[in-house]
Each structure stands twice: as C-alpha cells, then as structure tokens.
Homo-oligomer: A and B are copies of this chain.
C-alpha cells in the first residue's frame, strides 16, 4: 500500500489541456449507473447460488500459452497482450471460461460435478463502431463432469430463472445441436469448408437469409447452398441424426420438469460462432427486443485440451451489459425499485450546535442497517435539500434546536415535500416502514 508520488514532477508531466477519460472502448459507471449494474449482478448471483453453483475467481490475465490454446489464431487479434517486467507473455482474459478450464484441469482432485459461477469482466479489442465495448461483464455458469443432458437443462433453467427474476418475462430459448451441423458438413463432403459455411450461417441475424445465401454461394455449390438452407429450416433430413435430435428432445422434456417459463424452439439455423461447442447449443432471446441476452452450450472437448483428463462440460453466460441496457430501455429498474442511489436518507443539522446530535442519530440509523449520509460540509438547509434532490435521496432528516427540545426530528419526504415530526427513539421504526 506504500506508493510513490512526486507532486511537482507530476504537474510538469501532465499537459492540462489533455482530455482525461476512460480508455477508448471502455466506460466509467457513475453511482446512478452502478446501482443498476449492481442490481443486475446481485440478482443473477442470488439465482446462480440457489441453483447450487459455487463461486470461483481467477486472475484477470492469464499466461499467453493458456489464452492462445482456446482463442485460436484469429482471435489473438482481439486480445490485450502484454509482457510483465520479467518478459513473461500475458494477456487479459477474453472470456471467463478459459480461466475456469485451466483451474479445472490443474486441480483434478476437485469433486465432480464441479459447478461454478463467475460474474466479472473480460476484455476484447472489439470494433467499437458496432456499439461493442472492449471491457464488458459476463455472468457465467458451468457444470463440469456430467455427460447427461440434465446438466444442460439445469443451466438453461438457471439462466431463465435469473432473467425472470430481473423482470424479463417474455423469453425464448433457441436451441440446436452441433452434432447436426457436423453431420451436415459430413453429408455434403465439405469438411474443408466447414468454417466458412458456419461463419456464413452464423450471420443470419445480421444479414438475413438472402445475405447468408450470398455468402454461402462463395464457398459452396448451388446444390449444397440449397441443402444447407433446407437444413437451416429443418426440412433436410440427415442420416444418423437420431442421437442429436434425441438429445434436443430430452432437453425439451427436462426443461418442462424444471418448470422453465420460456418458449422453447429448436432452430437448426443456430450456430453460435465457430466456438468450441460439441453438442446442444442455446441462445436466450428477450421477446420485446429480439436481442440475445444469454447463450451457451456443451463443450466436451475443451478441458481435455488443458488437462490430462477429458471432462464433459456445459455452460451458459448472461451478457450483463446487454441485460442492463434492456432493463433500462424497458423501464424495468423503476419497477424493481432501483432508483438513482442506494442511500436511503440524509441527516442534516440546522446549525452546527446540532451537529453532535446529528452524528449520534446517523450512527444509530447505520447501526440499525439504514443507509444514511450526513451533512459533512455544514451547508444550510436549502443547499442540503438541493443536494438530496440531485442525488436522488428520498428522505431528509432535519435536526433542529426546537425539535430537539421535544426529542424529535423532522423527516422530510423529498418527493412530496411532506414533513413529519418524529420522536428520535422511533426514527428507525418510522424509516423502516
């Protein structure tokens, strides 16, 4: 905690005309934005814990060797790469899965199933012109060590439960099975075009069916483009697809048992990037906004890359920034009672003679669990009211000489302007109800 600064030198270094701001592609969260994000994160965490997922934390950066294995050559261009003072190659994590996979591989003694959650930041050097951020928050759950579809279904149930708890009710789960996509590629005999085909199919949301067809034409014969399109619409029967279809049907059945309150749709056009998925994949859309708010799937191959033991795995992730934006646009924070601040009340002495009593009162409120600020600047009453209003604090507790003679204070409701005299001994109870 010891830290060096040379004030005079610093003043020389800093060009005062320079604009100081958060680095390109990142954002600050001022208190009134932060209370929203905290509400989202706290709610998600509450539900994740109810589903028996346990917290895990890994460093924000990983050895480059760990990152490059999962990211592949292309994605390296998006990673914040650096070296430490001993020339070790490092990089900021680009998702929360990579650290988890390393930890699971590194600690084979961890009892399985291993169910972990992590809600934290990750970083990618994204194209910000597309409205993406380079620092973003993800809320991940993963279940390691279970081959059965019940693990996938539980993850989906947990995600839907978390989103519902946040107020997002009109949810649709789209699902597909990577095994079907693999069968398709095999059937068409275009293994060497697999990535190009998947990349094209993956753009459906962005460029529409015709756009996808145009893209496909670049890499596939007209006959194959037709068959791929038919497949995406569920009209093309693949030989040997029984197992993959059965998995999806089983998940559908399980989602009913888990009492999942969302529409479930099998959508053969779903790809979810070139990713590392090996089985069922999912995307959760919020109806009103037709935006993907969560996604994930089964990736039975990943952990085996890191460790000696291959372990089945499935997981889902909520995009916290996206969800926060949607709740904001839909006015759902108001519904949930999330205001501009968490601070419940502001205690102000009328004159400095009452400061001692004001401190005592605020300490008692804090002791009772009430979030309470106190006038530290010795402002007058009207300035303090202005301050309360600008901060969005709902109640002001005015500690004045006359009231104190009756062992009372005045509680002002900042919205209505209504004032009430309350006995100090009854203040906590009054504020709590």
Q: Which residues of A contact B (CB under 8 A)?
A: 1-7, 9-11, 13-16, 18, 20-24, 26-31, 34-35, 37-38, 47, 49-52, 54-63, 65-66, 68-75, 77, 80-86, 88, 90, 92, 94-95, 99, 102-103, 105-107, 110-113, 115-116, 121, 123, 125, 134-135, 143, 145-146, 148, 150-151, 154, 157, 161, 195, 202, 254, 257-259, 272-276, 292, 295, 301, 305-308, 317, 319, 341-343, 346, 355-356, 359-360, 363, 366, 369-374, 376-378, 387, 390-391
CA distance A288 to B395 in the complex (A): 41
Cα distance A283–B263 in the bound complex, in angstroms: 57
The contact of A150 among B35, B92, B376, by CB within 8 Å, is B376
CA–CA, A359 to B103, complex, Å? 29
| A110 CB contacts on chain B under 8 angstroms | 30
Question: Are B9 and A372 in contact, CB atoms less than 8 angstroms apart?
Answer: no
B-chain residues with CB within 8 Å of residue A157 when the two chains form the complex: 363
* B24, B150, B295: the one within 8 Å of A88 (CB): B24
Closest Cβ of chain B to A13, distance in Å, is: 6
Complex contact B56–A30 (CB within 8 A) = yes
For the complex, what is the distance from the CA of A98 to the CA of B390, rounded to whole Å?
Answer: 25
With A and B bound together, what is the CA distance between A73 and B88 in angstroms?
Answer: 22
Which residue of B28, B259, B305 contacts A14 across the interface (Cβ within 8 Å)?
A: B305
Interface-centre pick from A4, A56, A60, A274 (highest chain B CB count, 10 A): A4
Task: For A387, list chain B residues within 8 Å (CB).
Answer: 111
With a cutoff of 8 Å between Cβ atoms, the chain B residues found around residue A11 in the complex are 305
Q: A interface, by DSSP: helix, strand, loop or mixed?
A: mixed
Give the nearest-CB partner of A24 in chain B.
Answer: B88
> For the complex, what is the distance from the CA of A121 to the CA of B343, rounded to whole Å?
24
Min CB–CB distance A28 → chain B (angstroms): 5
Q: How far is the CB of A416 from chain B (nearest CB, A)?
A: 21
A99: chain B residues at CB < 8 Å are: 28
CB contacts (< 8 Å) of A146 on chain B: these are: 376-377
Nearest-neighbor residue (CB-CB) of A16 within chain B = B308
